[in-house]
A and B are shown apart, each in its own frame.
Chain A
Amino acid sequence: MKMIWKYLKDYKKECVFAPLFKMLEAIFELFVPLVVSSIIDKGIGGGDQNYIIKMCMLLITLAVIGLVCAITAQFFSAKAAVGCATGMRHSLFAHIQGLSYTEIDTIGSSTLITRMTSDINQVQNGVNLVLRLFLRSPFIVFGAMIMAFTIDVQAALVFVAAIPVLAVIVFGIMMITRPLYKKVQAGLDKILLVTRENLTGVRVIRAFNKEEEEIERFEKANEELNGLQKFVGSISGLMNPLTYVVVNVSIIALIWLGAVRVDAGTLTTGAVIALYNYMSQILVELIKLANLIVSVTKALACANRIDGVFAIESSMEDGKVKADDSVKADIPAVEFRNVALKYANAAEDSVTGVTFKVMKGQTVGIIGGTGSGKSTLVSMIPRFYDATGGQVLIDGRDVKEYTLESLRDKVAVVLQKAQLFKGSIRDNIKWGKPDATDEEIMEALEVAQAKEFVVKKDGVLDSFVEQGGKNLSGGQRQRLTIARAVVKKPDILILDDSASALDYATDAALRKSIREMTPSPTLFIVSQRASSLKFADIIVVLDDGEVAGIGTHDELLAACEVYQEIYYSQYKKGE
């Protein structure tokens, strides 16, 4: 709720005018029974045709004013609702963009997608309806009551009794269904997840003949959602019949009371009709409300889910210092001081006690077993994750002191998973440097060994890359992601096992051309291949999160057992 207000704040004027004009409309509507009552009492009673026609002109005038007010109100409420949703979508997207890797790992993208789309649409709907109706309906209800008082105080007491009962029904049903609608949206998340998995994992699912089971899994989730929807539906479906009963019971009471009072001569027949009309107006209004309350309740449930995303704060605090490329020759470009990292929700540290120094322009190789913490280690340099123990320093300063933006400008990472985006090859490379010229791009492609296949494509740099780079082979994707990093001309370049899909010849050529880049970056290579690291200035050997050895290839081969094992698993002794 609070969150919705935040986005409505920019539309204060609209938020005031929409219900205001709605109420004006309602006021004019409330006059109608009065006019009709006087037509009956004075017009028919007095047999005065002219009076009747005059009163009908009044009715038409009221209708015209009502129309103008209604359209004005619709405009303002539409403007506020759309504006609110637009602002919310923007902030939510920006908020998600600001989350760090830790949060992304835990939330999962399926649910973020539903929240950004379906949930916000529901909120927009809800805001629009609230502005138009939630004020109008109570107003009509209370207005009708007040008008009833002007007619007859005793009869009006029926209204006073009926209204709280109606309120209990309306809000009670809302309260009961709101958490249920939240569950419905969660059920939707589940279905979305299964659908997505069946698209992304289609090959594995078919290879294991799992189609039928996946269909079953989907049907089960679908059935669950269906059950929930039906349950919520049958509760919301109570609203109309219940309010109908309450209003009609009040009408019965009203007529009886009216009969008694007319008999006593304190009330006219016209007045009884007017009272009856007011009660009918309440009914009409409540029926409208009942149909819309479902949307409003849904909107509240959705707003809650959106709020849930806003509540997730990035666990990473931004630094203040801008990283630059000023070099002090005697300070290490990168330094690890007794670094440890434990992932959120993990039982133990992924890496512990890592200490080493790298001077500018040096090449660092990182090698080790699967799950030994290689990727974890380098991911702390651009602060994808923060060290939970010790310090990572760049140019003699803790990485946490730098602003994230300048830090990530200085450090380029090529991730293990080669991910490209829909657009041209040029667009994709420009991620690294938004103002890169075609020349710079070609240069980067050449370094990444990608020029060869790119120039063969129709349209060259303009050739189209599909979502995720589906229309390229694994090796082509990897080379483009490398080019994307290289075009930055970063001070520090990290290749996180990003040449795994390349054949050895291409891999070797790639390393050579990176070394020849000017200015030459401080280079981190994470790899399984000893041959890729052999000529590194420093090789860090990791074993189960701990450093098993640090040194050059020759030193390690002589003294480090783990390294020997790795090396000889790839090169038979004596070769």
Chain B
Amino acid sequence: MSGKTIKKVLYRIKHYWGYLAISVIMAMITVASTLYVPIIIGDAIDFIIDRGNVDFAAITDCLIKVGIVVAVTALSQWIMNVCNNKITYHVTRDIRDEAMERIAHLPLNYIDTRSYGDIVSRVIADVDTFAEGLLMGFTQFFSGVMTIIGTLVFMLSINVKITLVVVLITPVSFLVASFIAKKTYSMFKLQSEARGEQTALIDEMIGGQKVVLAYNHSDEAIEKFDEINERLSKYSLRAIFFSSITNPSTRFVNSLVYAGVAVTGAITAIGGGITIGQLSCFLSYANQYTKPFNEISGVITELQNALACAARIFELIEEQPEVPEAENAVVLENIDGTVELEKVYFSYVPEKKLIEDFNLKVKKGQRVAIVGPTGCGKTTVINLLMRFYDVNSGSIKVSDVDIRDLTRHSLRAGYGMVLQETWLKSGTIRDNITMGKPDATEEEIIAAAKASHAHGFIKRLPKGYDTEIGEDGGSLSQGQKQLLCIARVMLCKPPMLILDEATSSIDTRTELKIQNAFAKLMEGRTSFIVAHRLSTIQSADIILVMKDGHIIEQGNHDTLLRQGGFYKNLYESQFAG
């Protein structure tokens, strides 16, 4: 599992192999020159022997060398840092872009059934943690490994026996570290689970805060929050504490190594095996050799965490996208507006049948009204027409072409859709109106806004059409938001219309005026209208009365009234008060 994840990460790093190569080369230079400095200084110290016995010329040579090597080290270190930064942030940017790309093409079914908070936290928090782990890995892992190799070589060049002491004791620190890492992994997992649970709660309660306030539910929300917070705190404390033991423990092992080197080194020195300068150099190597072991053990925990996060992102990126378009998918240019549904069967979950054997033929320019009690499948029909969902069996044809043989874009461009649930994106009013036609002229925009009776209130906003609206429309009223959604459609004038309770939040007077504009727009355009207000559907050519996924009545207003069925009941209840 994690092997696969590593492979995926490496695959994405591959694009930046140039930076990677530079980084590795710079790491080698850095390590080599960092290790070389103690040798020169050791030499210099050896020239300081005793009173009146100091070779200043030789020392000067050594110190100049030190200066040059230090300059090289600093430069290569900085270049390495910059490269590592580049690689890390480019990789995370790429992964985020990939994730977004996938989100844009996920089947609606996926989005409808997941909590937004979870998807968002994958794109934001998980990628962040991953980036941190990756950066740390790059900066410390490479130079760590190289330091180990480098110091080994240098130490061997000075004295084999003492080197053996170092090499034999050091792996103990690895054992200690991996023992602790194993113990802490489960703590980290518990911690991130609790964190996820808490994020979901925050997302929900802050997103729905107006209701929370209206129902004095704050105390309960806080109580629930605290319960999770308490658990999170417990797991965090354990995770942090146990993982932080790693460092002192391995450092302890290092101190033992240091003491070992001091003993063997000093005894060897008495026997004249090495010089004092070499011993001092050795001691500093012993320090440098063991340090990367600490760091690597730290990096390993961090990387484990990073990989766990990466796995969650890849899970999203690799999610099955919408059924791909047929290779020879047609771009439908002249949509004439005929729509035909033939033996359509559809349900969201196999166990719960919804739409069964749905047949409908709509001629060009006809108005189809869909009515029925809530939950009868009206919105589902729209999901199918727009191909947000694919039919289970049967077919839907537009201009005599099965919509599965069309490109999604050309199909959806054929429809203008206004939904009951108004959705605006953060940006200016203008951005929101021109969604369907970004190159619209100022006149067109104003004309569309006037037709949808939004011009009046827009004009009164502080900056008119350039007023920024916040997330989810900010402080605009529900009705104003709906007017903007209508203006959006009025502007792009598509050949077919879908109006799902398009005017539910608008007052009837304005609605009446908009209806006129709609009527003009609908002329010659096929339209599907879902509405409760029977006045708005009386003039439809076909009225579909739906119940439990079936069409129970079909006809125009007059024939349906005469039938005296379900429709008649609905109609009369409007006037019953």
Q: How far is the CA of A196 from the CA of B96 in the complex (A)?
A: 14
Does chain A have a CB within 8 A of B562?
A: no
Measured CB to CB, the nearest residue on chain B to A111 is B471
Does the CB pair A63–B577 fall under 8 Å?
no
Q: Among residues 429 to 455 in chain A, which have CB atoms less than 8 Å away from a CB atom of chain B?
A: 431-432, 434, 453
Cβ–Cβ < 8 Å partners of B423 in chain A: 200-201, 203-204
Measured CB to CB, the nearest residue on chain A to B532 is A503
Does the CB pair B86–A230 fall under 8 Å?
yes
Q: Among residues 456 to 500 in chain B, which have CB atoms less than 8 Å away from a CB atom of chain A?
A: 457, 460-462, 470-472, 474-475, 477-480, 482-483, 485, 488, 492
Does chain A have a CB within 8 A of B558?
A: no
Interface mask (A369-398 → B, CB under 8 Å = 1, otherwise 0): 111100110000010100000000000000
Does chain A have a CB within 8 A of B67?
A: yes
Does the CB pair B37–A192 fall under 8 Å?
no
Does chain B have a CB within 8 A of A459?
A: no
Cβ–Cβ < 8 Å partners of A89 in chain B: 225, 229
Q: How far is the CA of A194 from the CA of B511 in the complex (A)?
A: 32
Does chain B have a CB within 8 A of A234?
A: yes
Contacting residue for B204 out of A273, A421, A565, CB 8 A: A421
Question: Can you show 27 pairs from A to B with CB atoms below 8 A apart?
Answer: A39-B266, A40-B266, A52-B266, A71-B248, A78-B244, A82-B233, A108-B474, A117-B202, A118-B125, A128-B240, A188-B124, A204-B423, A206-B108, A209-B409, A209-B413, A211-B104, A212-B104, A215-B101, A241-B78, A259-B47, A263-B53, A370-B505, A370-B510, A432-B215, A506-B374, A566-B507, A566-B509
Give the distance to chain B from A234, nearest Cβ to Cβ, in Å.
5
Interface mask (B103-132 → A, CB under 8 Å = 1, otherwise 0): 111001001110111011101110010000
Interface mask (B39-50 → A, CB under 8 Å = 1, otherwise 0): 001001101111
Measured CB to CB, the nearest residue on chain B to A218 is B100
Q: Among residues 10 to 69 in chain B, which have CB atoms less than 8 Å away from a CB atom of chain A?
A: 37, 41, 44-45, 47-54, 56, 59, 62-63, 66-67
Interface mask (A235-265 → B, CB under 8 Å = 1, otherwise 0): 0111011101100110110011011101111
Does chain A have a CB within 8 A of B221?
A: yes
| Contact-residue bracket for chain B | 35 or more
Q: How far is the CA of A52 from the CA of B327 in the complex (A)?
A: 81
Measured CB to CB, the nearest residue on chain A to B419 is A203
Partner-contacting stretch, out of A324-332, A355-363, A405-413: A405-413
In the complex, given contacts A248-B66, A408-B214, what are 18 additional A-B residue pairs having Cβ atoms less than 8 angstroms apart? Answer: A44-B276, A62-B255, A64-B252, A67-B252, A74-B245, A117-B202, A188-B128, A192-B124, A204-B435, A237-B84, A237-B85, A263-B51, A277-B280, A468-B204, A500-B532, A506-B373, A530-B508, A570-B535
Give the distance to chain A from B545, nearest Cβ to Cβ, in Å.
11
Does the CB pair A222–B244 fall under 8 Å?
no
Partner-contacting stretch, out of A2-10, A98-106, A150-158, A517-525: A98-106
Cβ–Cβ < 8 Å partners of B195 in chain A: 117, 121
Does the CB pair A453–B461 fall under 8 Å?
no
Partner-contacting stretch, out of A139-147, A299-307, A473-481: A473-481
Does the CB pair B51–A264 fall under 8 Å?
yes
Q: How far is the CA of A529 from the CA of B71 in the complex (A)?
A: 80
| Contact-residue bracket for chain A | 35 or more
Does the CB pair A214–B104 fall under 8 Å?
yes
Measured CB to CB, the nearest residue on chain B to A474 is B420
Cβ–Cβ < 8 Å partners of B460 in chain A: 347-348
Cβ–Cβ < 8 Å partners of A336 in chain B: none
Give the distance to chain B from A191, nearest Cβ to Cβ, in Å.
7
Q: How far is the CA of A81 from the CA of B438 in the complex (A)?
A: 50
Does the CB pair B208–A419 fall under 8 Å?
yes
Measured CB to CB, the nearest residue on chain B to A199 is B116
Measured CB to CB, the nearest residue on chain B to A373 is B477
Q: Among residues 182 to 210 in chain B, which have CB atoms less than 8 Å away from a CB atom of chain A?
A: 195, 198-200, 202-210
Q: How far is the CA of A412 from the CA of B482 in the complex (A)?
A: 26
Q: Among residues 129 to 156 in chain B, which have CB atoms less than 8 Å away from a CB atom of chain A?
A: 135, 139-140
Contacting residue for A569 out of B52, B216, B248, B508, CB 8 A: B508
Contacting residue for B280 out of A124, A208, A276, A484, CB 8 A: A276
Does the CB pair B206–A284 fall under 8 Å?
no
Does chain A have a CB within 8 A of B309?
A: no
Contacting residue for A263 out of B54, B70, B229, B240, CB 8 A: B54
Does the CB pair B508–A529 fall under 8 Å?
yes
Main secondary structure of the interface of B (DSSP, over half): helix
Does chain A have a CB within 8 A of B506?
A: yes
Q: Quick one: given A202-B108, A262-B48, are A233 and B85 in contact (CB under 8 Å)?
A: yes
Q: Quick one: given A32-B258, A90-B222, A97-B212, are A416 and B478 in contact (CB under 8 Å)?
A: yes
Q: How far is the CA of A277 from the CA of B285 in the complex (A)?
A: 12
Measured CB to CB, the nearest residue on chain A to B62 is A255
Cβ–Cβ < 8 Å partners of A531 in chain B: 574-575, 577
Give the distance to chain B from A221, nearest Cβ to Cβ, in Å.
9
Cβ–Cβ < 8 Å partners of A36 in chain B: 262, 283
Does the CB pair A86–B279 fall under 8 Å?
no
Partner-contacting stretch, out of A53-61, A160-168, A171-179: A53-61
Does the CB pair B471–A113 fall under 8 Å?
no
Contacting residue for A63 out of B88, B255, B276, B453, CB 8 A: B255
Q: How far is the CA of A376 from the CA of B475 in the complex (A)?
A: 11
Cβ–Cβ < 8 Å partners of A535 in chain B: 577
Q: Quick one: given A265-B52, A347-B460, A570-B535, are A233 and B125 in contact (CB under 8 Å)?
A: no
Does the CB pair B103–A71 fall under 8 Å?
no
Does chain B have a CB within 8 A of A109?
A: yes
Q: How far is the CA of A375 from the CA of B475 in the complex (A)?
A: 12
Measured CB to CB, the nearest residue on chain B to A563 is B509
Does chain A have a CB within 8 A of B555?
A: no
Q: How far is the CA of A482 from the CA of B190 in the complex (A)?
A: 38
Does the CB pair A39–B262 fall under 8 Å?
yes
Does chain B have a CB within 8 A of A312?
A: no
Does the CB pair A258–B259 fall under 8 Å?
no
Q: Quick one: given A263-B52, A534-B577, are A101 and B210 in contact (CB under 8 Å)?
A: yes
Cβ–Cβ < 8 Å partners of B237 in chain A: 78-79, 82
Give the distance to chain B from A323, nearest Cβ to Cβ, in Å.
12
Does the CB pair A197–B425 fall under 8 Å?
yes
Give the distance to chain B from A438, nearest Cβ to Cβ, in Å.
19
Does chain B have a CB within 8 A of A315?
A: no
Measured CB to CB, the nearest residue on chain B to A382 is B214
Does chain A have a CB within 8 A of B159?
A: no
Does the CB pair B412–A52 fall under 8 Å?
no
Does the CB pair A280–B284 fall under 8 Å?
yes
Q: How far is the CA of A225 from the CA of B195 in the complex (A)?
A: 24
Does chain A have a CB within 8 A of B97?
A: yes
Cβ–Cβ < 8 Å partners of B140 in chain A: 291
